């Protein structure tokens, strides 16, 4: 599309002109079509015909059951159904979306599959938008930095956010080279060790079930019995350590009564008239928490950075009440953010998020903050079958606001934050409470005035609150997951190289606190493993641009490749286990035991704690 429209006005050729009365075009737009218009005309005709034909099919609940009693009709439906699913699957895969359409016998996943189609539509429409922007001369492939903000040196790095099958998406990330690593200023060092995540909560506000005490009480019982009790407690303690601190409260939470009534949407204040306070001191954070504790609802969003850190860093938190907007510097206040647990876990206050899945994990990972009583507008949009569930879309429909997601991938570690990025961040929560009102009203309408759909959305949101952050754990088998996704067929030497590189990359990323994508992007790792370069320079040749840590560790990497070349050559290893080491159970045990010794999640720092295993 971009290529065909790059010549601007020529796209708008008259449809009446035939190929005879115009100069024969040097290149067809695509086989059989001379230009975009011809293609679109044909495409549109086909879509209209298909829509008409499908409208003529016997409808469910109407004649459908009668027709279905004929085996010929049944077979026809099955074959055509399969064809349709396959075509949709291929289309979705082509656009890099996950596609689970193949298993048509599995009726249970119908709703999920419908969601997949909706999500794919979002992706396709987004791509169309980007291409149209490109065609009109705007470059959206890189996040735009605000005008006037000139980071001294800029490098454009490919950033592998998600590795999803063959459609792995690569994002360009604009990154200012001179940004100081925020990790250096963190009071509590980041724990990249290969051990499971342990909750960071020490004080549990709004608890109906208190945090388990870590201090074994002095018991006036015989020694053997004391030992036995102690062992039981230790086991219980181990369970607690990895459980969700608010599991009990969330399990017993009931939907607030006022959600059972259809709301009258309360219009948002104009953005320009709303105060937006930037919070970077503990004093202001405490004041904000007190203010929030007096409200009945507020909106929350987060901005996160994951390129120059192993586990990622939450950089910003945006909060909006009906009256005011707040932006919290989560880098500056990282160790203090947990004061917000008071309002975030207050079951009488609704926290409104849009697409909270990752936010819930980031809050736990970076701050030990949990959410009790949440409403996710993304879940609401899904339940309403709006066709598109993104926040941009909701803002357009409900607020007639053209939000521009161009700073979504900006480097949120930048300080001081440029005005345009602050405005962008503010807009992410500013309208959210109004969107929440509108969606709830629509949910009532869709359920004939009943609260049933609101209840469903609220429950789904509660399930999201129950999600636990899981740290990436490296095992001897981890590399196989990535290998299988790449759909390549490596011989034993290539696979060994891949395994060694994968392990080296994980180790480096943890030690240097960088993302694996920064240390060595997937496609470069695949290329090195595929080529098995004999010389160090061959490794460099596989990487363009060469990642700094690859350059620094070139000899080490060269040795790894050499080691891989020395094993016997077996062709086409498809991931079966004969060259693999099966995961070692002692490995998992080591993780568990070391974790239990390394820290106690609920420890009062002033108390001593000694586990007995």
Q: Is 301 in the site for Zn ion (CB under 5 A)?
A: yes
DSSP secondary structure letters along 353-416: ESS-HHHHHHIIIII----SSEEEHHHHHHHTT-S---HHHHHHHHH-----GGGTTS-TT-SS
Residue 408 lies near ligand AMP (rule: CB under 6 A): yes
Taking CB under 5 A as the rule, which mask of x and - marks residues 137-166 in contact with Mn ion?
A: ------------------------------
Residue appearing with tokens 């190929």: 19
In the complex, the smallest distance separating the C-beta of residue 575 from ligand AMP, rounded to whole angstroms, is 28
How many residues are recorded in the chain? 613
Least distance (Å) between residue 407 CB and Mn ion: 12
Helix H or strand E segment including 320: strand 313-320
- Restricting to residues 142-181, name those near ligand AMP by CB under 6 A: 161, 171
Contact status: 230 vs ligand AMP (CB under 6 A) = no
In the complex, least distance from residue 429 CB atom to Zn ion, rounded to whole angstroms: 8
- Note whether 262 and 312 are within 8 A (CB): no
Nearer to Mn ion, 301 or 325 (CB): 301
**DSSP state string for 135-191:** HTT---SSPPPPTT---SSEEEEEEE----GGG--EEEEEEETTPPPGGGG-SSPP-
In this complex, which beta carbon is closest to Zn ion, that of residue 418 or of residue 533? Answer: 418
Residue from 35, 301, 325, 376 in contact with ligand AMP (CB under 6 A): 301
To ligand AMP, the closest distance from the beta carbon of 590 in angstroms equals 33
For residue 610, the minimal CB distance to ligand AMP (Å) is: 40
Residue 268 CA to residue 432 CA, distance in Å, equals 9
CB neighbour list of residue 475: distance below 8 Å, 6 or more residues apart: 583, 587
273 by Cβ neighbours in 10 Å (0-12 / 13-18 / 19+) ranks as exposed
Spatial separation of the C-alpha atoms in residues 246 and 204, rounded to whole Å: 9
Residue 469 near residue 365 (C-beta atoms within 8 A)? yes
Residue 404 found at the interface with ligand AMP (CB under 6 A): no
Whichever of 318 and 596 has its CB closer to Mn ion, that residue is 318
Stretch that binds ligand AMP, among 13-21, 321-329, 406-414, 441-449 (CB under 6 A): 406-414
* Dist CA 564 CA 360 (whole Å): 41
CB distance 191 to 359 below 8 Å: no
301 touches Mn ion (CB under 5 A):
yes
- Among residues 143 and 601, whose Cβ is nearest to ligand AMP? 143
Report if residue 428 touches Zn ion, rule: CB under 5 A: yes
Find the shortest distance in angstroms from Cβ 488 to ligand AMP: 25
State the nearest-atom distance from the C-beta of 415 to ligand AMP, in Å.
Answer: 15
397 contributes a contact to ligand AMP by CB under 6 A: no
Return the DSSP state at 314.
E
Stretch near ligand AMP under the rule CB under 6 A, chosen from 196-204, 272-280, 296-304, 476-484: 296-304
Which of 240, 301 has the CB closer to Mn ion? 301
DSSP summary character for residue 198? -
* Between 17 and 141, CB nearer to ligand AMP: 141
User: Judged by CB under 5 A, how many residues of this single chain contact Zn ion?
Assistant: 2
HEC readout, 457-500? HHHHHHHHHCCCCCCCCCCCCHHHHHHHHHCCCECHHHHHHHHH
Residues lying near Zn ion in the complex (CB under 5 A) are found at 301, 428
Q: Residue numbers of the site for ligand AMP (CB under 6 A)?
A: 161, 171, 301-304, 408-409, 412, 428
Q: Which positions lie near Mn ion, rule CB under 5 A?
A: 301
């Amino acid at each position: 599309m971009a290529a065909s429209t790059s010549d601007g006005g020529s796209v708008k050729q008259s449809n009446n002109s035939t190929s005879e009365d115009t100069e024969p075009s040097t290149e067809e737009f695509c086989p059989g079509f001379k230009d975009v218009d011809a293609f679109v005309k044909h495409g549109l005709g086909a879509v209209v015909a298909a829509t008409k034909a499908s409208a003529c099919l016997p409808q469910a609940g109407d004649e459908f059951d009668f027709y279905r009693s004929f085996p010929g009709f049944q077979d026809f439906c099955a074959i055509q159904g399969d064809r349709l699913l396959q075509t949709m699957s291929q289309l979705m895969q082509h656009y890099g979306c996950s596609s689970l359409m193949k298993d048509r016998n599995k009726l249970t996943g119908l709703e999920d599959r419908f969601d997949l189609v909706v999500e794919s539509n979002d992706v396709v429409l987004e791509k169309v938008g980007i291409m149209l922007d490109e065609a009109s001369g705007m470059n959206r492939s890189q996040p735009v930095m605000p005008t006037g903000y000139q980071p001294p040196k800029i490098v454009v790095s490919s950033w592998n956010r998600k590795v999803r099958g063959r459609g792995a998406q690569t994002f360009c990330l604009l990154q200012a080279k001179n940004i100081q690593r925020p990790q250096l200023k963190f009071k509590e060092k980041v724990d990249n060790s290969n051990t499971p995540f342990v909750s960071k909560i020490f004080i549990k506000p709004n608890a109906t079930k208190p945090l388990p005490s870590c201090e074994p009480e002095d018991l006036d019982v015989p020694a053997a019995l004391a030992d036995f009790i102690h062992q039981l407690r230790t086991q219980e303690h181990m369970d607690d350590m990895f459980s969700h601190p608010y599991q009990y409260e969330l399990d017993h939470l009931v939907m607030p009564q006022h959600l059972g009534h259809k709301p009258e949407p309360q219009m948002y204040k104009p953005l320009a008239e709303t105060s937006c306070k930037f919070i970077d001191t503990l004093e202001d954070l405490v004041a904000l928490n007190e203010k929030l504790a007096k409200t009945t609802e507020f909106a929350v969003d987060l901005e996160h950075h994951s390129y120059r850190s192993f586990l990622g860093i939450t950089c910003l938190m945006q909060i909006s009440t009906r009256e005011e907007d707040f932006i919290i510097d989560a880098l500056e206040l990282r160790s203090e953010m947990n004061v917000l647990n008071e309002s975030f876990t207050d079951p009488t206050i609704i926290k409104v998020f849009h697409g909270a899945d990752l936010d819930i994990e980031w809050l736990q990972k970076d701050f030990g903050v949990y959410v009790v009583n949440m409403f996710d507008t993304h879940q609401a949009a899904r339940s309403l079958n709006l066709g598109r569930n993104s926040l941009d879309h909701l803002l357009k429909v409900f607020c007639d606001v053209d939000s521009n997601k161009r700073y979504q991938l900006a480097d949120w570690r930048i300080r001081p934050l440029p005005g345009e990025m602050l405005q962008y961040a503010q807009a992410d929560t500013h309208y959210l409470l109004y969107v929440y009102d509108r969606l709830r009203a629509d949910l009532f309408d869709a359920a004939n005035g009943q609260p049933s759909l609101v209840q469903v959305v609220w429950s789904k949101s509660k399930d999201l609150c129950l999600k636990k952050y899981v740290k990436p754990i490296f095992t001897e088998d981890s590399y196989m997951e990535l290998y299988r996704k790449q759909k390549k067929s490596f011989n034993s030497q290539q696979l060994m190289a891949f395994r060694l590189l994968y392990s080296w990359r994980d180790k480096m990323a943890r030690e240097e606190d960088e993302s694996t994508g920064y240390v060595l992007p997937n496609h470069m790792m695949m290329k090195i493993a595929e080529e098995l370069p004999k010389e160090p320079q061959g490794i460099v040749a596989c990487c363009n641009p060469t990642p700094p840590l690859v350059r620094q560790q070139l000899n080490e990497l060269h040795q790894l490749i050499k080691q891989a070349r020395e094993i016997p050559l077996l062709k086409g290893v498809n991931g079966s286990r004969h060259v693999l080491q099966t995961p070692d159970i002692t490995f998992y045990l080591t993780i568990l035991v070391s974790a239990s010794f390394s820290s106690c999640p609920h420890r009062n720092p002033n108390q001593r704690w000694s586990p007995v295993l």
